[in-house]
Structure 1
Amino acid sequence: MPALLRPLARSVTYTRWLHLFISVVIVGMWIFIDDGKMWVPPVLLFFAGFVPAVRLVEGLQARLLLTPHGFKDPSSGIAAASSVTWGDRWRTVLWLEIRLLLGNLVGMLTIQLPALAVDLAVASGGGDGRTSVLELPGGHWWYALLVPLPVVALLAVVVGIGELITVIARRLLGPSAQERLAALEERTEQLLERNRIARELHDSIGHALTVAVVQAGAARAAGDPDFTDRALSAIEETGRAALEDLERMLLVLREPGRPRTARPTLTETDRLLESARAAGAEIDAQITGALSEVPGPVSREGYRIVQEALTNVLRHAGPVPARVRIAVADGRLELEVGNPLPHPPPPGGSSLRDSGLRGIRERATLLGGEATTGPYEGEWRVRVGLPLTGPG
């Protein structure tokens, strides 16, 4: 029994009732003007359904009154957009006609069923019930037993037709295939953006923390005040750059429509190399070709790839000699970072390395390039090739 009564405790049951009643207003107004032409309201609604904005109005009203969470709920299954295709228009026309039919049915029963209950009560007391469509002769006491039935029937009609009109709204006012595709593309773009931000934070903050940890450990081991001052300066500079990257990423998350501030590119490789050298690594760098001619997206991703590769050197091998090769030629950008394999390998850190290497491969794939990582001739090597024209 509680399950049967639960719909009566939900506010959406009564807002659906109101939604159905709105159609009665249209017919009622026309009856007031000319009750001899009852075919006019359906015809007017037929032509109104072809107006693009009508679908938007009907969708917002259906969301507001037919769904539990209101018109701001995108998961309601009801679109809130104007008609774009003729399919949208024809579905809107069908929706308006069905809504008019069901609304007037509910409106009629809302008046007649309570009137029938009153007639039954009057007739059971000896009077004649004449307010409903039925004329009930008085004098039958057992009519009193039937008084609740019209009320129960009305409540069942309200709940049942309310559910039915909601299902129909989701079918006829729901997103079209074009709208679903647009929503899917938008969702995909959001996920790609979140993934990109995660990679940016991993590379930038991971690099800064690695440099800070290596510098602090080296300063403590050296016991040299001058070296300690240089180490603290390097930690300060690296931390400041990481904070700028973090602030930029947080702005993108807080204000998605805000223009993005500049991200570092390969033209700033010297700063990256100096940061690694300041952490104690011996960097042998060779740069050929014009880095300024590398397209922005390729140059930004190339900078992050080199940054992550150097971060892995410091994190997993320590301040060891490393070589960096950056070449721009024949329409491609070639990146290579290598360092001697430590003996024995340092414990732990495999999950961080795996995450960083996965990020390098993802960046390369998104730009239509390829990446190879792993041991090679006694060293750990990261090698990435990217087309300057992007994926093609």
Structure 2
Amino acid sequence: MGPPRAPVVGPSTRRSPVVAGDRGARGPCGASHTPSRTRTPRGYAAPVTSEAHHAEHQSAAVVAADALGVFVRAMAGIEQATPESAGFYDGLCEAVCRAVQVDRAVMFLYDEGRRRVRPVGSHLIDRERFPVEGVGIEDAPLSRVALEEDRVVDALDTTGDVLGRPDLAQLPEGDLAYVPIAAGGTWYGVMVVEQSSGEPLEGPQRDALWIAGKVVAFAAEARRATRHQEQARQLEHRLLLVRQVHEQVIQRLFGLNLVLGSGAALEGEALERARTEVEATQADLRQLLHGPQLTTGAPTAMRLAEEVERLRRAHATVELRADLEEGVEIPLPLESLAQSVLGEAVRNALKHGEPTILHVSLTRRDDALSLTIDSDGVHGAAGAPSGSGLGLRLAAVEALQVGGLLEFGARGEGEWRVRLLLPTTDENEVGG
């Protein structure tokens, strides 16, 4: 699950706030650059000279160029920054306020680890005032307009019932503007700035804010592209591993199955040969699984209980029951695997059947954790979801690499079970 995609809107199609009588050309942020008139608090004044118009554009270019330099310097640590890097984003918000001459700012970004939009940095605005569970675009009509039209939206010059309603009750009261953080058709977030002048933002300010949003978005897009390259590399390695397991292990097991299924007693040389094949199979598996560790899901800061609640909200048509043993938690390095298995199990249940109940349980027995997902309403005579395969099979390989086990199959008529067994400690962490 990633940030929502949106239609790519080019500069020529972005719209500005509706102002009566405004027929000028549009700048990169939708700000009006009318060649013959200048805007005043009451509307439009007398025509200005070409010299004044040239000076106005030169001033806008200087402001935008200076702001770009500030933003680029402020973004120097973006490669190491995560949504948890509050200090970095606080500094970025402060740099925006200084460069654009606005009073306060708060930045909201999509947190892939938590799968929600939340405040990551601010300047002179307390982030603790915003809900812990994050915010939704349905609660932010002005932010939606900013993202959809890829322009800076100033609340002072918006009209209409929807646009006139401020975003988020937790935002400070004041003259707010909403800056889109979007690139390549992907919405990454919004920055909200406040100024106390009582006047709408000027064109150069809008341009500088729009540039700030683009700098942040391009950095996020670069990180996303890097992650996709890593995922493609891992997928290639997984497919190679599956092929090697088939060639080196499955064929040995097939031969053993023929021998053991013949019904003949194993004695002497035949028994020794079978024992040798079992040992060779174990050695092959051990060698294959000691390669680069695979990961089926993105690193996450969420806990299993939070992910269960997120899935419950996302799939309101199905009753999702959670029975998580009190005091039992999955080691944080293994949370990504556990949540990946949970998500895959829920997707398979919804895709290949019509479940009414999804039951998720987490228990501990000695040094092992057991995560079980049971579903009903499975299609097929044998209760087996057709196509339930690659996602869970890849997760099964990762489970083996961390000392766990993943199994899935029919559990009675029309029922299906996925069970993940994990160690109570991350073996790679302990051993390394």
Higher-Rg member (1/2): 1
TM-score (norm 1): 0.32
> Is the helix fraction higher in 1 or 2?
1
TM-score by length of 2: 0.29
